[in-house]
Structure 1
């Protein structure tokens, strides 16, 4: 059974005062005014109202007055009707004052923006949210509905922007984030939605709030027993909102509203406090705004959402476990920084490490750090000797001392490794292996060109060619260093920071030496491949026919020979080009002149003949690790790798492990790196025996 129609507004002309009547009688003019009450659901809506805005617009247009007061107590309704009402009020010649008596929610809040002056009772509520609608249909129809709602949001944003003076995009954000944004009178004034706050007004009844997803306590206080707000009596000469007959009930209601407003303000304050420490993190500001705007979001729920957001920046260990830096992590980081600064260590860029002025451990000696670690672990150190303090710092299960020393050494090791120069990475490919077994490297054959189809249209079967295989195996290199109690007491930073730095450089040199040792195998012909031949071999057609020093002719001959290499199946040319020159340091200068000279350095008249091989290679590596006169061309290792260095699980940096020693009066630190070197394909390399 349908609900009978009910007007959600009433319009009344105000009585002319005696003074105004006298002025009119004397031939003068007097301002005339009217009062409009929007008390109920607006327009034709799902909530039962069937009186449209067309009636309202006609009645307002007919008002020949100078002043209009629009009183609002509505939870919204039809968006299209609300926009029509807004426009009707904006274009009326009268000065429009809007008074929010109780609630101005949804489209009712937009109507309120039509006032030249907007005032709001101190216990009233303003709410802004995205337009929404019930819809059904297929995907196409629902997409059209979504576009329709976006259009309304865009139109509404302009009205809010016009009132507040803020950008339309800022207002559009309130209409597209899916959150109901509630404002007390004080908050609405701060956001410039209104111009002033008036004395609190008692509210007699309210609407059904079930349509809204989230209602704050301040708004819920209005939701009494009645389902619809009673309208003022149109016959009354001086209308006013109905008040509860019982003063006690009125006072209780006002108190409930005040408590609700206070609770909402406190909720927002607590959420902002919880987010304050992480405000600079990406996305935190947006999440905080969403939690504040969602009145159903408690402070605890907001904290959980923040923790989940921060967890996205870390790596889960098991399930949704989030690691956030705690006081212990900060202590270890400060101690590590203090030790590195005192040891004059370098960072990854080669700059000296300096302790932050705010670092509380700045200037601490190793013994001071050992004592601080014990105190943090709850150990009383009063009366303990230096040896006892150091011994306890190493053996106390909850002491941070061994860990912070390990962190310091590991960081020093990594930095020294990163800064140490190498040449192998410039001409070798870098790979990964999962264990210490031999790992294959396959090169797939090609099908060759497509066959011509005969006159019968017959297609021939093509045999899938076999490929080639190379293998690479990783091994372990490492050492153990010991850190004694005496070194700690003597504050011997060089004993472990300096040694760790040397071990980092040694790890980088270890790989460098291993690569050149493989290249030196078979009298400089390189490692043996899986075909039983050396990397450089006459059968591989990658050795120069005429041995020669670096020169234009020998460079060009090497270029031609490399370009003529064919794929695994011998079907087509690979057309490779040299990218790196490698040779002994004694002939590196000659190689640079040959590669960089504008004119041919080998001709008598250098101004007459351009250098045919100028810029042939992008990188020239000369090293004392090679001796004799032989030199090499390598193609780009990313295109045609000839040699590969593979690391266990792809870990290219050395690894440090700690073990409290029993046979050493202190601790033992083991440094290791797992890698292997192998020749994998001869086609991307060329050798000249030199002269």
Structure 2
């Protein structure tokens, strides 16, 4: 889980002379409920303090910060040092403070910060963390919100305009003409002096030489905290029990107990004066055990009971719901019959207005996955829908065996850019010469420098999901999107590969792939005699650098639909008790669906023995990718009432050097 946070006040800490705005004291993150409905407990922040030490500071736009993008060295302006946790006056009221060093801050922004500080507007610019951690759910003041459970890594602290979790510049840290101690120490001394004068007993319990700032602060609060009153304790207990009863209702309702058992437990806990969460869990388990006695098997099948009474990760649930909508094989496919309902469940936008203001923001963030980026974002729905479309599209793409037939006649490679790729001849050394005892090894004759060249090409297009499609609940049209995208990408690659055999292109030696000089071009129709002739021509092809035959036979026959019956009778039917020579070769027959010439046919060798083609994918990405093409307008879930997705597939290929020796073709007049 990844995220971001902060906004407060700054103060400048600098050496001698006028303020230059290079060192500030800042609040990085505040405990409690953030503006974006994420709850940060003191314990989580206290445990994460050390991870802020040395964190990089970037200047970013709010949009780049939300995406976790644009970590450019030109945006790097400083670092964090001396992070510490400062206790608050109440539980979960603490914060993480630190010194932030901004030597790389542009002069105009630095001047703006200094002038804003002088004018008492230190909150003009805020801070927001970009961090990774885990989150769950929690009831706070009767509302279910996301609660950070841990912060495991801090990627950066960003200067942005609208932070959300209390991140702020506190003060410009200016040194007096010759300060000997930082401001934190002088504050520490003030606290110690007040303890010594007004609470000598508390002061005596402190080892001044070794006590940390947090320990001094804790002693100060303990010494000067107002005495608790019985009335206050009663109010706190009443609030705690209100929250406990709400939690109990949620836990019991989420269990898989029968309705009558749920009602009995709800009534029981409504009457109890005091109980804890553990009591509720124990009561549910006790009820399950009681009911199990009446089952024939000796137990009630409540598999997954414990997960049922735990808070479920809504992001996982929402992703699974969208997957179920698109995938007919999904166990819950029939349960998700309305795309409009799926949209409303995800966003809370019950009237499908597409306006971010009409969405349940807490629900939208939970649905998209817990993020500690505290600025607001309206791309969550588009991204989540795109992820589900991508998963289904790639599932269909890989699962179409006919469209993957090209892999049987080509080798697969990888390229890292769009520049021209060169593939040199491999092999051609001839036989290894004998080496006499104690004799020197002779140099082998290197292969020629013949090469084939090609470059990867970007292919793609756009598809849209409109607001009208959601309002009209056009289920079939939406469900067809991933299938149509997969088929479009698959057919494009399929035809790209088999067109090398159909169009007879010019290859590495400036001669057509099928040519008399290559000894691989024929003119007779498919039958046993002609197939044997094609086979003989292929096995007689000579190895580069020698006159020795390669001895590689056809492994595949490529045909149009019109020759499918002929090929079946020739290679597949076992009508003879004694198989013919051609039947013993048993090549795989591939019907190339889009070939329209009714008579032409092709043989191809096993690409593991004699590769004919190489097809390479950009960065090894063999499946097509899907992206959100248009970023939604500010405050809108849609751009022009539609979400536009971009499909992209990048690859290229060519006939390899000596590839002509691994294929034959009959161009029948």
Query: Which is higher, the Rg of structure 1 or of structure 2?
Result: 1
User: TM range, normalised to the smaller chain?
Assistant: 0.3 to 0.5
Q: TM-score, structure 2 length as denominator?
A: 0.45
More contact order relative to length (CA 8 Å, sep ≥ 6): 2
Q: TM-score, structure 1 length as denominator?
A: 0.44
